[in-house]
Structure formats: C-alpha cells, structure tokens
Structure 1
Amino acid sequence: MANNMTPPAAAKDFLNDHGWEGAEILPVAGDASFRRYFRVIAGDRKAILMDAPPPHEDPRPFIHIARHLKAQQFAAPEIFGEDLTHGLVLLEDFGDHRMREHLDHHPEDEEAIYRQTIDLIKALHQKPAADLPHYDWEQYLREVNLLPEWYCPVQSLDVDLTGFVDAWQAVLEPVIASQTSPVTVLRDYHAENIMLLDDDRLGLLDFQDALAGHAAYDLVSMLQDARRDVSDVLEEAMLQYYLDGLSEREASQFRSHYAILGAQRNTKIIGIFTRLYARDGKARYLDFLPRMWRLLEKDLAHSDLAPVAVWFDQNIPDDVRSKPIVAAQA
C-alpha cells in the first residue's frame, strides 16, 4: 500500500488548471487505503488534494456522496475540482481540529460532542437516502468473511466455514428484512473522521464507501469505535438518546439490530486489521485487536446473536482471542 508522500506527478498541472498556480503541497495524514492527502496552500487560501489513484481507488463515490450531503445541508467538503483520469480531487479544507484529538485534550466535552454526533445521524436519517447500492446479504457476508480469510489463518485456526455463513445468515435475516426504507449509511462514522468546525458544525470525512442500509450501522460505528474507547455508560446514554421517541417495541427491535450490526462490523474489522498487518505490513493495527474482541464479545452476549456466539465459542475459544498476534510471525 502506498506510503510515499511525494505529490503525484499530475498534481502541479491539475492545480494550475484550477487556479492554484505555484501552491505549496504538503502531506497530511493518510488512512488505511491507497488514498493519500495533501494540504495545498496558496497565499491565504488552503485546500486538500486527495490522491485516489486508479485502478486501486475511484474518487467518484466520494464526490457523489459529498455533493449529496451538502445538498442536504450537512458539512461535507465542497469539491473545487476533479480529474478522474488521475484520481485527483481538490477539496475544501476543514482544518486540523478533529474530534478524536479534541477529546483527548478535553475529556469534559465528551458527552456534549457525542450528543452532537447523534443529532447529526438522527437528522441524516430523516432525509431521503442517497442513490447508492443497498447494504444487502452479499455485502454483509463479504465483510464478515474477512475474519476467516485473514484472522483465522494468522492464528492457525481451521474453522467451520459453512457453519459461519449459516449462523450469520440466521441473525442478519431480520435486519435485512427491516431495511425496507433504508437510510444513507456513511459506514466509517467515528471520532477520527469528524472535524470540529469554526461554526460549531461537525465536518464529515471518509464516506466514499457509503451504502443505503440500516439506521443502526453508523450509530454502532460511532459508539463502538475501533480506535477510541467509548465507555459502556456513554454508549448506553447515546443509544438511548437516539431511541427517544420510539415505542418500547421499536426500541427493543432497534437494540437487537444494533447488537447484530455491531457484531457484524466488529467481526469485519478484526479481519481488516489483521489483513492490514499480514498483507500490508501495518503492524500498528494489531494494537486495536483487544478492543475489537471486547466489543465483539459484548455484542455476542445479546440473545439474538446466539447462533453466531455459539460458532465463535466452538471455533475461536477465549484463549485464542486473547492470544496476541506477534508481528514477527508474518
């Protein structure tokens, strides 16, 4: 995976064509994909240059969702220019005031900011879903399969793949059946993808993988954060805040689906983080696995996840889950 932070060869001409002649191009933090980001500075103007090189990346979904979110009055970056041939996009710069670092330094603001993230999701769920592919069984299955494809081999586990698929199909069936009026699911909605803007709005980033799906998914993404500890007390308070106004039956069903999608997402992330290590040499992602197992086990405790919980007990026992993957063994 790309980690060279030299600007792409086409960047200078691209910037010149969009009125940023002579701009300074500085690297900024990337993510777990092939995408790279640069800050472009010309006098008192700033922008972000996204380098999403084909064939590994396609910036069109990001552009599509950014424009959809802006049209619905959410703070997604404005698109200043695009070159789809080279995978370059010039974006509005939301600055460096990120939710994650702010809360690291100002923990007293935690409840207020998380409440704001729930308000945003509640507002998004009141809007028509974007024109997107649906979060269907095939997509859910592809994602959970990342665990037997990557984590299990690294841990030298020979597991029951047929039973794995059957268990997930059983628990996901009612979730999928409830997605008759899907919402826009950003899919990576968490503290490291939220910018705190000067106008007190939340700036949204990293939503290019959005799908039309279940309202619980982004709530799980925020409240069971793979990279930041969220206390059980805060998670419950924010979940209840989202559920305020629902009937007891509706709230109970939503909590069930929340746990199911939490387990689905956390299973997927264990596979992804293992792949980032085993395939891409990014050993730092192994540090997140203990948190992911804690989150997954919490979700598996829900009675509606019994088939999946039984599969995990029979195929990945506690002593394996707690056994760290040692970087030297790759």
Structure 2
Amino acid sequence: MAPVSATELFSLDLVNEAATIRLAEDLAALLSAGDLIALSGNLGAGKSTFARALLRAFAANSALEVPSPTFTLVQTYDLPRLSVSHLDLYRLEDPEELLELGLDELVASGAALVEWPEKAGHLLPSGALFLTFSAGHDDDGRHVVFSADEAGTAARWGARLERTIAIRSLMHAAGWGQASRRYLIGDAAARTYERLHYDGASAIVMNAPPLYTLAAPGETPSYGEIVHRARTIAPFLALTTELRRRGYAAPEILAADEDRCLIVLEDLGTDTMVHDHAPIPERYEAAALLLADMHASAPWSETLPLPGGGSYTIPAYSRRALLTEADLFLDWYVPWRAGVPVSPDFVPADVREEYHALWHKALDDIAHAETGWVLRDYHSPNIIWREQRHGIDRLGLIDYQDCVIGPLAYDVSSLALDARVDMPHELERYLVDLYVTARRTVDTRFDPEPFHAAYAVTAAQRVAKILGLFIRLNLREGKPGYMAHLPRMAGYLDRALAHPVLADLNHWFHKRIGG
C-alpha cells in the first residue's frame, strides 16, 4: 500500500481484465526515464496483469514474454525507448536486500515497476506513483487508487495522468475507446504520436502540448515564437481542413481536444518515400508534381476558419525568422565543429554582423520570388506513399502545422535536398527541372530564373538551420541520432552555395568555416 503520508490523486473502477490492460497501456504511454510505479494489493488483485500489460505495451510487442520475477526478484527489459525493470519484492525478507538489487540505479538509468513495494520500507526511492489494487464490484473487476508520496511528485504525476486519461477519453469520442495504444514516434519538437489498433483497423493520436509560452509585452520571445513554430494544434486543424477541401490527402480529423492540444487522426499508412535508406525516384517525382500542382492552383488564403469557430492566420516567413533560424549555424554548429563548448559568445559580434549582412543581401535578391504556402518540412518523413491510390491522392501529407507564407521554392528545396536521405545530385536536378516544366506547362509566364535563385537561397538557409539544429538536438536534448545526417547536410550546403546568387555567402562560408 502507499505510505501513510501519500497524497491520493484519484481512483478508478476497472470493470474487467480488458479495462486493466487498457489502463496499463495508458500509463505505458507516459512512462519515461526516472519513473517508479509501485503496485500494491493482495495476491490476485491484478498487479501482475497490469505489469505484464504495461511492459508489452511499452515494448510494442503483445507477445513479449514477461515471466514473474517472484524468485529472481528483478527482471530488466532493455527496450528501444528505455530500459524498464520489473521487481517483485514478495519474497524479500529484509529491506536491506533491496540495496543489492540496485533499485536506485535502475530508476536512475531507466524506469521501474515494483510489486509489493511495502516490503522495501524506507529504502523505496522517493517520487513513486502508487497504484493500490483491490477487488471490484464484479468478480473480474478491480478498484485502483492512485497516490504519490510528495506534494511536488503528486502534482507532477497528476498532470501526466490527467493527460493520458484525457487521450483515452478522446479516443472514446472518436469511436476508438477500446483500441490498444502503441507509441509510434516523437519528433524533434515536443509532439509525440501513437498508433491505435482495434478490430483490424488503425488510427493515430497526436499529443502536442503547447510548444512555448507567448512572450509578455517587454519580454524577449522564445525561438519558437520568433520563427513561427505552431504553438498549439489550431494551425494543424485549420490547414488540414483547407488541404482536404482542395483535394489533398491530409488526414481526416476524427476527434480533437483543442484545450489540451490532442487529436485523433486518420492513419494514412506506413509506406514511405525511401527503400533501404535510398530515395525511390518515382515517388519523389510524384511529390515534386504535387508541389507544382499546389503552387499552380488559385491563390491560397492566408486566413483560414477553425472547425470549432474563429480563424487562424498563417504567419509570414519574416526576415527575423529566417535570420534567427540561420543563426543556429553560428550558435551550435560552428563551436561544435571547432571542438569547443557551445556558447552564444563564441562567434564574435562583427562576424555575426557580417553573416547577417550577407543573408540580408541574398534575401533581398529573391525578394520578388513567388510566394505562398510553405509547408516547411516537405520531405520523406512527412510524406506517406499510398500505392493503391491515384494522382495526388497517392501522397499522404502530415506534419505541416508550421506552415508559413514565404518563397514557394522553399518546399521544393526541402524535397530535393531531403535531410533524411542521400539525394544524388542528378536526382535533385531532375526533380527541380520536373517541377519547373510542370509549372511552365500550366503557366507559360512562370519564370525559371528567379525560381532557381530562390531555390538556392532557401536551400542554403534551410541547410544552415538544420546543421545547427541537429547539433542542438544532440547536445541539449540528448538526441544523438540526428548526428548521422551532418555529412549529408554539409554536402547539400556546398550544392546550394554554388549558385551565383550566393557567391558572397559561399566565399564567407569557405573563409570562415572551411570546406
């Protein structure tokens, strides 16, 4: 049972074993490093059922062998997302034996589920979430009480539990309340995604807590606010509605909770634009032609209605936003490449001013480039291939909530210089030429020359941003996987800088950075 001083958070009645399993999946969805979940209750109360279901859900493997650790006392699962240890202290004779199991270290490096936590006495690490199981009203029902042992811990657990239970409630509203939940992916922002499975079908949950707090008058805005990152789900809802209205394959919104920034979406599928880490040319061709179709169509509105009322205005890709993004190169990539600790003061002020002046000149040179919706991350992770569909419907679009009004060439460069896959120079040029030809077929007034200049400038700006961003994701957020993309991105930068419109910036990069 929970300590006498524990704060009760709430309780639930679980009508049957399936409800216990769903609760375990709801907690698996929030489990993270440093978490300790303590399971109390009599023999047969449902602790082991819960623990087994949570481990299988967290591993995304419903067939995972989860033996009872009654005799071994501890069983650790080294899973892709996190190591999770399952402890059963029923046979623990003395709390001091817990020291030999190294529970503190297990929690410090992963997460842990502990059955019979009362056997640990005062040696149970603080900060645990306690679940106390007892018999329910029906034979296979259960009653579970949630509590935490410290005020701060109670607030932290309470907020996380409220959110994961709200997701289950939204699933019910969408008709997916009985579905199983499996972690799908977390992106470079705070968003996470889950895939729901039920009766042979699937759907997607987008869990997108507000990305930042808007600056008060007189305060310096955050990076996200300056560069117009979507703070809530409102942009996604508005953009999705408009994309679908115009015939593009954005996911259907099955249910949304705007206050909590949660959405249940249509699952567009799992097929991608790549095979064995290489681009599939015909799929990239289709994606380039989709952009040409989108850019050649009638003007797209900058202000869009929201499904629940009100409107959303797509922000302009401001000069400040473009330069702030480009500064990630100076702030993160340059010191990392120099082998020194990252510091905003590493690059001297006069060098930064020179860098800004060159970007201003390059952006001035494309000031009259064609503008419109810039989806901003139009590349392989965000385009789903749907083999059985036809035309533009073959391409499912996701992750476009950061859309801005800017140079249309930006999305073409995002596709043709895909940050996640090696794009041969020949394929890049082919995709650009294919786009230009498609545009000129519809409108003979389309001028390739300013487009190519805008393509080079936006490509260089995007690559400079990403080089710095990947270093930041590694050093500040502990996501080293992005580092594998650095050599590719450095090569892309050389390609973009080769255009005459960037001659001065090309000289600066080679003089200051080398290459």
| Coarse TM-score class (shorter-chain normalised) | 0.7 to 0.9
| Distance in structure 1 (CA, Å) of the matches to 2:177 and 2:381 | 31
Tell whether the 8 Å contact from 1:65 to 1:130 is kept in structure 2 after alignment: no
* Structure 2 partner of 1:328: none
Write out aligned runs for 1:102-181 (5 A): 103-104=275-276, 110-127=280-297, 128-131=299-302, 132-154=314-336, 155=338, 156=340, 158-159=347-348, 160-179=351-370
The Cα shift of 1:19 comes to 2.4
* Structure 2 partner of 1:32: 188
* Structure 1 partner of 2:197: 41
The more displaced of 221-230 and 142-151 is: 142-151
3-state SS, counterpart of residue 47 of structure 1: strand
Tell whether the 8 Å contact from 2:190 to 2:211 is kept in structure 1 after alignment: no
Write out aligned runs for 1:62-141 (5 A): 62-100=236-274, 103-104=275-276, 110-127=280-297, 128-131=299-302, 132-141=314-323
| Distance in structure 2 (CA, Å) of the matches to 1:51 and 1:270 | 27
Write out aligned runs for 1:173-212 (5 A): 173-179=364-370, 182-197=371-386, 198-200=388-390, 201-212=394-405
Higher helix share: 1
| Distance in structure 2 (CA, Å) of the matches to 1:247 and 1:266 | 31
Residue type at the aligned position of 2:448: A
The more displaced of 245-254 and 279-288 is: 245-254
* Structure 2 partner of 1:22: 178
TM-score, normalization: structure 1? 0.87
Give the CA RMSD over aligned residues. Answer: 2.3
Tell whether the 8 Å contact from 2:273 to 2:280 is kept in structure 1 after alignment: no
Residue type at the aligned position of 1:262: A
Unaligned runs of 5+ in 2: 1-29, 33-56, 59-162, 213-230, 303-313, 341-345
| Distance in structure 2 (CA, Å) of the matches to 1:64 and 1:151 | 35
The Cα shift of 1:207 comes to 0.6
Question: Which consecutive aligned stretches of 4+ in structure 1 deviate over 6 angstroms post-superposition?
Answer: 246-249
The Cα shift of 1:249 comes to 9.0
The Cα shift of 1:118 comes to 1.2
Structure number with greater CO (CA < 8 Å, separation at least 6) is 1
| Distance in structure 1 (CA, Å) of the matches to 2:285 and 2:488 | 23
The Cα shift of 1:273 comes to 0.6
Q: Among all aligned residue pairs of Structure 1 and Structure 2, give the percentage whose two residues are the same amino acid.
A: 33
Please list the CA deviations of residues 51-90 of structure 1 after superposition, one character each: whole Å capped at 9, or x if unmatched. 0012545111111111111011000001111112222101
Residue type at the aligned position of 2:291: I
Write out aligned runs for 1:276-287 (5 A): 276-287=473-484
The Cα shift of 1:250 comes to 1.9
Higher strand share: 2
Is residue 13 of structure 1 aligned with residue 169 of structure 2? yes
The Cα shift of 1:188 comes to 0.5
Unaligned runs of 5+ in 1: 319-330
Tell whether the 8 Å contact from 1:8 to 1:51 is kept in structure 2 after alignment: no
